[in-house]
Structure 1
Amino acid sequence: MRSYQRLAYVSLAALTVGLGGCQGYVKKADFDSAISELRANQQKQQQEIDNLTQQMQQRFAQYDAKIAQLNGRIQVDSVSHFAFNDATLRDQDKPMLDDFAKIMSKNYPQAVVTVEGFADNAGSSAYNVRLGRERANAVRDYLVKTGGMSADQVRTVSYGKALNRQVAKGKSGDEGEPNRRVTLVVDFAGTQAQAQAAPQGQG
């Protein structure tokens, strides 16, 4: 179940209790109104996610990035890759991050983004968790310091060399380069800033 759907159901349950109050029941009109409002909010959030996904697909067509919706979140995969045993952000990855930060900071200032860090299969699990975190932090710092995103918007997590998240299963060295990466996940898009939304064909 999508995250915003779960939130809607939890909100509905709380609203049902609140509407019931001392009477011990909910009026049908109040219940129907609450359902309609929750459905409208759910549809609005999905529309924002669809709009943001479309913007990213158009903007990032020139980059080697895979964009997908997953459980109400937008995942931008294969964003940045790193040298073996290194967490230095490469210059060739910065233009894509610049575009990402520009879209988010100008059009989706309420968005919450998680930078996921990964490593290849060499080394211990504990070491690779630290290395993945350093890579995620390097991208987060770039998005905040250079891209202009708010530090409150961007968080990090490391999956190290978790096999179920590796692109090249069990590979390291040159063959494992696809595993040494970060992924950007938009956990919450928020509402698009209308003042910043340019008409089609402009900007």
Structure 2
Amino acid sequence: MALGAVALTGCTKYIKRDEFDTTIADLRATDQKLQGQIDSLSQKHDALVTQLAGRVRVETGAHFATNDATLSEEDKPLLDDFARVIRDNHSDALITVEGFADPSGSAALNRRLGLKRAQSVRDYLVSAGLNANQVRAVSYGEDRNRQVREGQSGDAGRDNRRVSLVVDYAGVSQATAAPTASL
């Protein structure tokens, strides 16, 4: 009898199979919904979106002029839509804004410039309604393995002077069963 009581006590820490299956189904639905919303952003704004190991990456979040970290007006509609989708449907998401530079300056300058670009976009996303705690900024500067047009600067290096948006964690959507928000 004592062995039975110990065995039953140990079972209280297990998750019931139906609860586990429901949680997994919710996570998969949230992931599919986020991917659909990001794909819509990609089509609407001609952005490259990829997904790898549960992370969603928007490659063309914004582009910058040489030696500048000012966000252009043409990049704001994509950022507005991105912020709305995350704010309204994925409030648990953690967003990383990655800043980049072309190789025209020193490595230290380019690292600082990449960070200023990332912070500029981060600040814009926060002003668009995202929680400041869920959006972080990092810089890769001119790292060769992160350049779109390796070694290029000036007009040819425009794609190197950019930020990318990475959704590191989408969480469980607040409206998993709701229809996908239109973009």
| TM-score above 0.5 | yes
The alpha-carbon distance between structure 1 residues 169 and 36, as it changes in their structure 2 partners (threshold 3 A), is: farther
User: Is the 1:87–1:131 Cα contact (8 Å) retained in structure 2?
Assistant: yes
One-letter code aligned to 2:141:
G
Q: CA RMSD in A?
A: 2.9
| Counterpart-to-counterpart distance in 2, 1:92 and 1:138 | 14
The yes-or-no answer on 1:157 pairing with 2:138 is yes
Equivalent pair of 2:114/2:139 in contact (CA under 8 Å): yes
C-alpha separation in 1, matches of 2:176 and 2:49: 26
- Taking the aligned partners of 1:160 and 1:130, their CA distance within structure 2 comes to 7
Determine which of 57, 62, 65 is the counterpart of 2:47.
65
Give the TM-score taking structure 2 as reference length: 0.85
Matched, 1:92 2:74: yes
Q: Distance in 1 between matches of 2:160 and 2:176?
A: 39
What's 2:86 paired with? Answer: 104
Query: Which of the pair has the greater relative contact order for Cα pairs under 8 Å at 6+ separation?
Result: 2
Q: CA deviation at 1:32?
A: 7.6
Show structure 2 runs of 5+ residues with no match.
1-6
**TM-score normalised per structure 1:** 0.77
Residue identity opposite 2:122 in structure 1: R
Counterparts in 2 of 1:129 and 1:196: CA distance versus 1, 3 Å? farther
More displaced 10-residue stretch of structure 1: 69-78 or 42-51:
42-51
- The aligned residue for residue 32 of structure 2 is 50
Alpha-carbon distance between aligned partners in 2 of 1:201 and 1:174, rounded to the nearest angstrom = 37
Which residue is 1:182 aligned to?
163
* Inter-CA distance 144–202: structure 2 relative to 1 (3 Å threshold): closer
- Alignment: residue pair count: 179
Give the equivalent residue in structure 2 for 1:168.
149
1:58 CA displacement:
1.7
User: What CA deviation, in whole Å up to 9, does each residue of 1:118-168 have, x standing for no partner?
Assistant: 0001111111110000000000000001x1110011001100000111100
Q: Measure how far apart 1:200 and its partner are.
A: 6.1
State the Cα distance separating 1:60 from its structure 2 match: 3.3
Aligned residues of 1:119 and 1:132 also touching (Cα < 8 A): yes
1:82 corresponds to which of 40, 64, 79: 64
